[in-house]
Amino acid sequence: MRINLEGLCNTRDLGGLKTIDGRVIKDKKLIRSGQLFFATEKDKEILLKDFNLGQIIDFRSLDEKNEKPDPVLPGVKYIYNPIMHEITKGITRDEKSNKDIVKMIILDIGDDLEKAEKYMEDIYENIINDDYALTQYGKFIDHLLVDNDQATLWHCTAGKDRAGFATVLVLECLGIDRETIISDYLLTNEYVKNDVHKMIKTIKSEHPNLTNVDNVVKALFGIKRRYLENIYDFIKINYGSMREFLKIKINVTDEKLNLMQKLYLK
């Protein structure tokens, strides 16, 4: 469920999603989001009072965090848990990365949609092959294993890739079916479309020779079903199942899995 906020476009409560065995994720416990820098005072009040926010987990790079720091919210624990250990154009979104990816579009990708999609597919595959990123995702899961009545919010910058994959891991742990997970993943396109359109407009005005910039930018700054399906295929080929991947690479033991389901399902 989208949380209607004034300054944040991609903040969602996972409550209400049904598991394969008929249970339901508890409301106001698990929240995915983009960056919180633009949260208004009203937004902060909603997160604190209506959602009883207890901890924020920040996946961004140091440059992203320093450029647009999270607001300090009274009583809320802030956890810095970066997923990437270096700038990754298309994933990180600090000022330098934004400039670099626009330059990459102009000089390298141009109007080649297939090249743009392949670039993002490679980034996703690199994440699930990167020991640092997987260790950080394991730490993220551990931060969720807190028995209290407060909500946890996790975010990157746009809330689509790093936070998106984190959400996939959470939903897999809780036993949500794959099609529901993919549907939740794809909802981000609707919520970030205004930012994507602004970038398209900017690039078009500066480089009118590019005729397919709409689709190229959407491939890089939006998300596609195939990005996630490719990850599922990779995991099946290399680990046999998502459960084995969670055990081996994210360190989700049976004990952790049972505790997580106890904490967040009803």
**Radius of gyration in angstroms for the set of CA atoms belonging to the chain, rounded to a whole number:** 18
Q: Which two tokens stand for residue 36?
A: 């919180």
Q: What is the DSSP letter of 32?
A: E
37, 73 Cβ separation under 8 angstroms: no
pLDDT, one tens digit per residue, over 85-141 is 765 544 545 455 556 666 667 667 888 899 989 988 988 998 999 999 999 999 999
Cβ–Cβ < 8 Å for 155, 36: yes
Domains of the chain: 12-264 (3.90.190.10)
Nearest to 169 by CA among 131, 194, 190, 139: 139
Q: Which residues 6+ apart lie within 8 Å of 114 measured at CB?
A: none
Q: What is the pTM of this model?
A: 0.92
DSSP annotation string for 125-183: HHHTT-HHHHHHHHHHHHHH---SS-EEEEE-SSSSSHHHHHHHHHHHHHTB-HHHHHH
Query: 59-100 pLDDT, tens per residue?
Result: 998 888 999 999 999 999 999 999 987 655 445 454 555 566
Strands (E), the chain: 12-13, 30-33, 53-58, 77-80, 151-155
